[in-house]
Amino acid sequence: MIADRLIYRIGTLYTPNQKPPVKGKDMKMIQTYSHAFIAIKEGKIIGIGEGDGDSFKGECTDIIDAKGAVVLPGLIDSHTHLVHAGSREDEYHELQKGIPYLDILKHGGGILGTVHKTRMATCEMLYHQARHSLDTMMLHGTTVVESKSGYGLDYENESKQLRVNRKLDETHPIRMISTYMGAHAIPKEFSHDKDAYIADMLTDMEMIYRDGMAEAVDVFCEEGVFSLSDTKKILREAKALGFKIKMHADEIHPLGGAGLGVELGCKSVDHLMAISDADIQLLASSNTIANLLPGTSFFLKKPYANARKMIDQGVAISMATDYNPGSSPTENLQFIMHLASNQMGLHPEEILNAVTINASYHLDLSDKKGSLEIGKDADFIVLDIPNLAYLMYHYGINHVRDVFILGKYVVKDQKIVRD
């Protein structure tokens, strides 16, 4: 078959090559091709392997010389709070002084401060701020982004955030996946009646499902926010409606969220800095992914989730930025990969599986994305590095030179290509 586009003279191409979820010791396995090529037709991979790919060349093939660079699948940022108004650098100072994150929330700041700003913002304002972040993500190699609501906390403003997600999906090359997170905090108008808020939210959730505004529902299961039993109630109803479910679990206090997530059939349980040993065992015996967010530990100066122990016990791990204005203000998934190596002791291959195939698995995209194989979407990144390990080692800068999504150039020489 003749390709529309052929990328050749790739120094080394690294890709996951196992059926997800990739668990435990299998996370160390990655396929490599040296002196490789990728052939693309109509946005899909039609050929991949070692050599120059000559058999895919025709008169009209656009041929690109990778000049010995490394190629990886597009990175998948499977947990973000992308759409929000403003920023919280004022609070950063308080966090630095040691005031706990949950105390700031208790006093009406934190998430609730961003809720106030997001409610005041128009769709256009939210769109422009989020689109700017999405560009930054893409420049750093991200090609799929999961984006949660949760800064509206009423129907009008939650659906406003979700509409922004939809507009971004329609107008930006990054593939967007929307999650409804009405259960992110208790809004101040319900501060004395959490149950009434939950009741309202469950009604809103039905409308959001009916209008196809989100694929999944997420809950912040934490002391002083939504309890284990609140979470169970919300996620059971979400699942009964037809939503996929996930949760922010065991982030600060070990409430047993991860175990509940497994019991309910969550696609992922996220954070897990305070997970119990028993829940690690439960995760290992399930297909729920442990979605770890080391940027939050770094920024809040908290312990890191014990990723090494989880993998050694057979858990499937993914990783994401958790990009949000309060606990992880970064769009840069490469920095998260560095933390996974430097602070969590993971191997480069484990980290690559975590930010590609396992992330695509819990977003239900693994038939199209998350690895470079014939028939899959041609979403890949070209990096100026000598090998995969170098990406984890040389930190704090952007190594991505080019990005392709569905076979099209979207970043070339570190600059965004617009149609």
Binding-site ranges for ligand NIG (CB under 6 A): 81, 110-111, 114, 220, 248, 251, 296, 322, 324-327
Pick the binder of Fe ion from 222, 322, 331, 349 (CB under 5 A): 322
Residue among 74 and 326 whose Cβ is closer to ligand NIG = 326
Instruction: Tell the smallest beta-carbon distance from residue 80 to Fe ion (Å).
Output: 8
Instruction: Tell the smallest beta-carbon distance from residue 404 to ligand NIG (Å).
Output: 30
d(CA 360, CA 367): 9
Residue among 26 and 230 whose Cβ is closer to Fe ion = 230
d(CA 353, CA 355): 6
Q: Which residue is nearest to ligand NIG (CB)?
A: 326
User: Of the ranges 174-182, 205-213, 314-322, 408-416, which one interacts with Fe ion (CB under 5 A)?
Assistant: 314-322
Residue 331 sits in the site that holds Fe ion (CB under 5 A): no
Identity at 37, one-letter amino acid code: F
Which one of Fe ion, ligand NIG, none is in contact with 110 (Cβ closer than 5 to 8 A by kind)?
ligand NIG
# residues contacting Fe ion (CB under 5 A): 1
Instruction: Tell the smallest beta-carbon distance from residue 45 to ligand NIG (Å).
Output: 33
Closest CA to 28 of 310, 370, 353: 353
Q: Which residue has the tokens 């990009």?
A: 323
Residue among 78 and 114 whose Cβ is closer to ligand NIG = 114
Instruction: Tell the smallest beta-carbon distance from residue 12 to Fe ion (Å).
Output: 33
d(CA 280, CA 388): 28
In order, the DSSP letters of 291-303 are EE-HHHHHHHT-P
Instruction: Tell the smallest beta-carbon distance from residue 374 to ligand NIG (Å).
Output: 36
Which one of Fe ion, ligand NIG, none is in contact with 37 (Cβ closer than 5 to 8 A by kind)?
none
Residue ranges of alpha helices (H) inside 50-193 are 89-96, 101-106, 111-120, 123-139, 155-171
First-to-final CA distance of the chain = 27
Q: What single-letter DSSP state applies at residue 76?
A: E
Q: Which residue is nearest to Fe ion (CB)?
A: 322
Residue among 259 and 325 whose Cβ is closer to ligand NIG = 325
User: Of the ranges 7-15, 43-51, 319-327, 332-340, which one interacts with Fe ion (CB under 5 A)?
Assistant: 319-327
Q: Which residue has the tokens 């992914």?
A: 289
Instruction: Tell the smallest beta-carbon distance from residue 395 to Fe ion (Å).
Output: 23
Measured CA to CA in angstroms, residue 380 lies from 62, 80, 397 at distances of: 16, 21, 19
Tell me the backbone φ, ψ of residue 347, rounded to 5 degrees: -80, 155
| Residue-level length of the chain | 419
Residues that bind Fe ion (CB under 5 A): 322
